[in-house]
């Protein structure tokens, strides 16, 4: 056999806690259900397309939070496609520890885990050998690539959890060399770990679909999986299929013309979709000294408009020399002192000083301090 068909998904992170979404009661639970529904949709496509392999290169679970109920449900989905060989490796979020679900759970007959003392498995009926470079608790396994020996009479697949040519200080994040990878002669590398899509790198064989479902505001755009064919005589034929029904989107709105939160809410409402999008709204532009937008209040005003909105204030203070000259007493001295420091501060320091300016003015005027700027996302 010289050709195989496959699906390739990665980084589901089932049972992710989604703490940043906890400001909306019940929303983290809803997102966890949506992530599992994404896997269910994928398996339905496997049923209809009947690929010979489904490759899952790590981070299927969040090991710290995933229990047997989720593992059993996942195995039930895999057992519903008995003619497709499901091949998995461990990731850094579900590492091959002593109590790993990959090692302790009895998976269905069509499911194979590559790890432990087994670096590969040969599927004789498909003339295909699948190698694995997963994640053992505390470290990666990238160095094993150097000693892997391939039989060129077979189709050779590598499941890999990590990145390519990524060395940051002493931490290589399970990185492999593109030069070494190309010299080995793999026909296809099914990668995971990086949540952004990579297509045909490393000599045309390195593919990473990104996370099957988006998991945060740093993962915009469509998410899904790869499908296609691999054969010995040519580069793989690979296509991308969108699977996610929910997306994350960051919006910026200039608030220079506004003087109260309700104006911002009125401007935003027509721009937000009621379903299918989680929004991060970043307030930009300039604002008068006496107006400090309240992110929580703006979020509350948008709750009925969209499924989820998080607001962050990154606008800057607008104050003229004329305005400074009429500020008297303690407040005037405080404002001028802070602005003088902002003129010589680095960019990061200016952000801190601006928050200090708001806090100080509010304390002087009202005798209390409310949190400014919104929650980090």
Give pLDDT tens digits for 73-110.
999 999 999 999 999 999 999 999 888 999 999 999 99
Confidence of residue 377 (pLDDT cuts 50, 70, 90): very low
Beta bridge partners of 139: 136
Confidence of residue 372 (pLDDT cuts 50, 70, 90): very low
Confidence (pLDDT) at 172: 58
Q: Hey, what are 38's tokens? A: 């994404």
Tell me the domains of the chain and their CATH numbers: 3-242 (3.60.21.10), 247-366 (no CATH)
Confidence (pLDDT) at 362: 66
Q: Do residues 373 and 312 lie in contact, with contact meaning Cβ atoms separated by under 8 Å?
A: yes
pLDDT (average), residues 222-229: 98
Q: Whole-angstrom Cα distance, residue 132 to residue 231?
A: 19
Q: Whole-angstrom Cα distance, residue 111 to residue 105?
A: 11
Confidence (pLDDT) at 376: 44
133 has pLDDT over 90: yes
Please count the CA atoms within 13 angstroms of the CA of 197 that sit on its side-chain side.
20
Residues 164-203 pLDDT 10s: 987 655 555 688 989 999 999 999 999 999 999 999 999 9
Describe the crossing of helices 27-49 and 68-79 by its angle, rounded to 10 degrees: 20
Residues 314-351 pLDDT 10s: 988 766 545 654 667 787 788 778 878 888 888 888 87
Question: What's the whole-number average pLDDT of the chain?
Answer: 89
Among the listed residues 58, 264, 302, the one whose alpha carbon sits nearest the alpha carbon of residue 163: 58
């Amino acid at each position: 056999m010289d050709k195989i068909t496959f699906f390739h998904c990665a980084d589901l992170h089932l049972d992710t806690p989604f703490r940043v979404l906890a400001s909306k009661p019940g929303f983290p639970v809803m997102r966890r259900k949506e992530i599992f529904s994404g896997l269910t949709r994928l398996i339905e496509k496997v049923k209809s397309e009947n690929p010979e392999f489904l490759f899952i290169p790590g981070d299927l679970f969040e090991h710290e939070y995933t229990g047997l109920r989720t593992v059993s449900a996942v195995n039930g989905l895999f057992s519903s496609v008995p003619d497709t060989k499901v091949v998995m490796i461990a990731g850094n979020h579900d590492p091959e520890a002593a109590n790993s679900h990959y090692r302790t759970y009895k998976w269905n007959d069509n499911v194979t885990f590559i790890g432990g003392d087994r670096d590969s498995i040969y599927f004789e009926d498909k003339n295909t050998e699948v190698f694995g470079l997963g994640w053992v608790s505390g470290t990666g396994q990238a160095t094993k690539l150097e000693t892997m020996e391939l039989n060129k009479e077979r189709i050779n697949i590598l499941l890999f959890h990590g990145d390519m040519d990524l060395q940051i200080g002493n931490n290589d994040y399970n990185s492999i060399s593109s030069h070494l990878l190309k010299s080995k002669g793999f026909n296809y590398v099914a990668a995971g770990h990086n949540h952004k899509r990579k297509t045909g790198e490393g000599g045309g064989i390195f593919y990473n679909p990104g996370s099957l479902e988006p998991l945060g505001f740093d993962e915009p755009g469509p998410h899904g999986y790869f499908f296609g064919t691999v054969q010995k005589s040519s580069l793989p034929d690979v296509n991308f299929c969108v699977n996610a029904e929910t997306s994350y989107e960051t919006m910026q709105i200039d608030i220079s013309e506004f003087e109260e939160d309700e104006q911002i809410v009125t401007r935003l409402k027509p721009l937000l979709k009621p379903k299918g999008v989680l929004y991060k709204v970043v307030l930009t532009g300039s604002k008068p000294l006496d107006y400090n937008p309240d992110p929580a209040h703006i979020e509350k005003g948008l709750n009925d408009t969209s499924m989820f909105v998080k607001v962050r204030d990154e606008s800057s203070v607008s104050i003229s020399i004329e305005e400074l000259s009429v500020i008297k007493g303690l407040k005037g001295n405080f404002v001028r002192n802070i602005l003088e420091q902002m003129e010589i501060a680095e960019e990061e320091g200016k952000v801190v000083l601006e928050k200090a300016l708001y806090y100080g003015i509010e304390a002087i005027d009202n005798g209390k301090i409310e949190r400014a700027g919104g929650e980090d996302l």
